[in-house]
A and B are shown apart, each in its own frame.
Chain A
Amino acid sequence: MKPERRSDAAVLVLRIALVVGTLAAWELLTRLGLIDPFFMGQPTAILEDMVSAFATGEIIPHIVVTLKEALAGLFIGAVAGIGLAIVLDKAETLSRVLDPIIMAFYGIPKLALGPIFILWFGLGMKSKIFLAALMVFFLVLFNAYAGFRNVDRALIDAARLMGAKKGQIMRKVVLPSSAPWLLAGMKAGLGAALLGAVVGEYIGANAGLGWMVEYAGGMYDIPRVFTCIITLMLLMAGLNALLGLAEKRLLKWRPAAL
């Protein structure tokens, strides 16, 4: 016999109870001296550090740097990815020539290029932007290319018959038709951009949340490490929500999923 399905509210309560319970157990175990807060941190200490990091405004410039790098990388990677996808979609021979080469480059673990980028572009934001953009580029390229390939030929013909020129077909048929694919690419790209920026900072930088994690880690300042990680989590959730809103607006023409 199947157990009765719990209501959404009940699930929410259980979820909160789980999180609060875990934190409480963590706190309790530290207070009882069963785990060492020096290595593991302690919820109240983390909370205290977080409040102070925001209250003094100490963390804000680093958030700004990481956000700038990630968003600039997302933008550049997306534009480059969509641009190359348009070219490949138009030029069949070129796409056949480039296909294995693109796949080979895609196969490189891109984060491993971080040190080289820092060597080339310096410790500042530029190297992180390039790393983030490279991560995003492939994701958007593959999605956009698949999206363009999936455009209904009959829709393009219909637009041509009504007098649409090449550029209009691109703007009014191909792009809107592949919007779901482009958005899927952006969604995956967002996480990749943040990852690229933070890892880049971690490898070598003088600002940003990744740098802060690295610095605090070196000082055994565990609460600060957690503060940065939680901040990154919140940033990611916020950006995802924004993208979700944009998606809802851009794709409101689609039948609601069942």
Chain B
Amino acid sequence: MRLRTHAAAACGNANRESGGRSSEKAPALDGSTGLTISAENVTHYYRSPNGRSTPALKDVSLTVNAREFVAIVGPSGCGKSTLLNILSGLTPPSRGGAFLDGEPLTGVTRRIGYMSQADTLMPWRTAVENVEFALEVQGSPKKERREIARELLCKAGLGGFEKSYPHELSGGMKKRVGILRILAAKSEALFMDEPFGALDVFTKEMLQDEILRLWQETRKTILFVTHDLAEAITLSDRVILMTARPSTIKTEYAIPLSRPRSALETRFQPDFVELQRLIWNDLRAEVRRAAEEAS
């Protein structure tokens, strides 16, 4: 149940074999810079074949600082996924621009690992083959990438499922493999779009703890979209609240809860409850507006 932790007993083998590499884990900790991601006046329309255009984002500007953990919440359908697609270089915005460390973003980049909302494990690849995909397309030799992928899986407690196909894994396991897959790519920032939306509460809490630990150990810049306000507060340094469509940033809340955090304990702190009440009042108005617009 660890994404990137100290030697779990079952992984003894993999650890010994690759002692050299595991000591150079967490590249961001040893003084590398981390990635700053920003959007400037991003506006986006979707054009349907019949010529109608749907405004999704309107004048969105935001900066995610290097090593910061930012959560985005907003009513469903407001444009959160669209924003991540734009910031990852997948979708060029209708107007405005995205920047990485101040440089304009012109297309997809390996500097960002993006776990999208859809289930995108390749069904014809086993768990280990999925995890090594990024290394494979970058031309890393088979033996080397296989070993890296195995070690990641093993440390995440999936040692026995290397050769399983996605349809043979539980929902929580699939999410873990999805996270490992972007970790294997050693990108500097991680985007996650509602990763735990469909999971049961226990699995969800376990995975939240793993994400907290992941961030603690690697300090990668993380942009995390969720419709679960408690999850946003639990995980992040800053919660960005988006309005109903066409979406803009409504309010930003700093989350000054102490770290390292645990998903369960954080939830019972008085500060947490207070923050939740505050942001929820704000969010509720937007959810209502979105619902009214839809009807």
Q: Which of B113, B118, B123, B182 contacts A254 (CB 8 A)?
A: B123
Residues of A contacting B114 with CB < 8 Å? 158, 161
Verify if A179 is at the interface (C-beta below 8 Å from B). yes
Which of B21-29, B133-141, B211-219 lies at the interface with chain A? Answer: B133-141
Q: In the complex, what's the smallest C-beta–C-beta distance from B120 to chain A, in angstroms?
A: 4
Q: In the complex, what's the smallest C-beta–C-beta distance from B49 to chain A, in angstroms?
A: 12
In the bound assembly, the distance between CA atoms of A161 and B105 in angstroms comes to 13
Chain B residue total in the interface (Cβ 8 A): 25
In the bound assembly, the distance between CA atoms of A152 and B123 in angstroms comes to 11
In the bound assembly, the distance between CA atoms of A154 and B120 in angstroms comes to 6
In the bound assembly, the distance between CA atoms of A164 and B165 in angstroms comes to 21
Interface contact A155-B120, CB-CB below 8 Å: yes
> Is the contact region of chain B dominated by helix, strand, or loop, or is it mixed?
loop
Chain A residue total in the interface (Cβ 8 A): 21
Q: Look across to chain A and name the residue whose beta carbon is closest to the beta carbon of B120.
A: A158
Interface contact B110-A177, CB-CB below 8 Å: no
Q: In the complex, what's the smallest C-beta–C-beta distance from B235 to chain A, in angstroms?
A: 22
Verify if B167 is at the interface (C-beta below 8 Å from A). yes
- Given known A-B contacts A154-B116, A154-B118, A168-B137, A161 and B124 have beta carbons under 8 A apart: no
Residues of A contacting B110 with CB < 8 Å? 162-163
Q: Which of A161, A163, A165, A176 contacts B122 (CB 8 A)?
A: A176
- Given known A-B contacts A154-B118, A165-B137, A172-B137, A160 and B108 have beta carbons under 8 A apart: yes
Q: In the complex, what's the smallest C-beta–C-beta distance from A172 to chain B, in angstroms?
A: 7
Residues of B contacting A177 with CB < 8 Å? 122, 124
Residues of A contacting B138 with CB < 8 Å? 163
Q: Look across to chain A and name the residue whose beta carbon is closest to the beta carbon of B182.
A: A162
Verify if A109 is at the interface (C-beta below 8 Å from B). no
In the bound assembly, the distance between CA atoms of A254 and B137 in angstroms comes to 23
Verify if A57 is at the interface (C-beta below 8 Å from B). no
In the bound assembly, the distance between CA atoms of A254 and B122 in angstroms comes to 11
Interface centre among A159, A162, A163 (most CB of B within 10 A): A162
Verify if B266 is at the interface (C-beta below 8 Å from A). no
Residues of B contacting A160 with CB < 8 Å? 90, 108
Residues of B contacting A168 with CB < 8 Å? 137
In the bound assembly, the distance between CA atoms of A165 and B179 in angstroms comes to 22
Q: Mark B170-213, 1 if CB is under 8 A from A, else 0.
A: 00000000000110010000000000000000000000000000
Residues of B contacting A158 with CB < 8 Å? 114, 116, 120
Interface contact A162-B112, CB-CB below 8 Å: no
In the bound assembly, the distance between CA atoms of A255 and B166 in angstroms comes to 9
Verify if A253 is at the interface (C-beta below 8 Å from B). yes
Verify if A229 is at the interface (C-beta below 8 Å from B). no
Closest 5 CB pairs of A and B: A158-B120, A162-B134, A154-B118, A253-B124, A164-B137
Taking beta carbons and an 8 Å cutoff, which residues of B are in contact with A?
88, 90, 108, 110, 112-114, 116, 118, 120, 122-126, 133-134, 136-138, 165, 167, 181-182, 185
Query: What would 9 more interface pairs be, CB under 8 Å, given A162-B137, A253-B123, A253-B126?
Result: A154-B118, A157-B116, A161-B88, A161-B108, A162-B113, A172-B133, A177-B122, A253-B165, A253-B167
Q: Can you list 5 A-B contacts (CB < 8 A)?
A: A158-B116, A158-B120, A162-B181, A163-B138, A173-B122
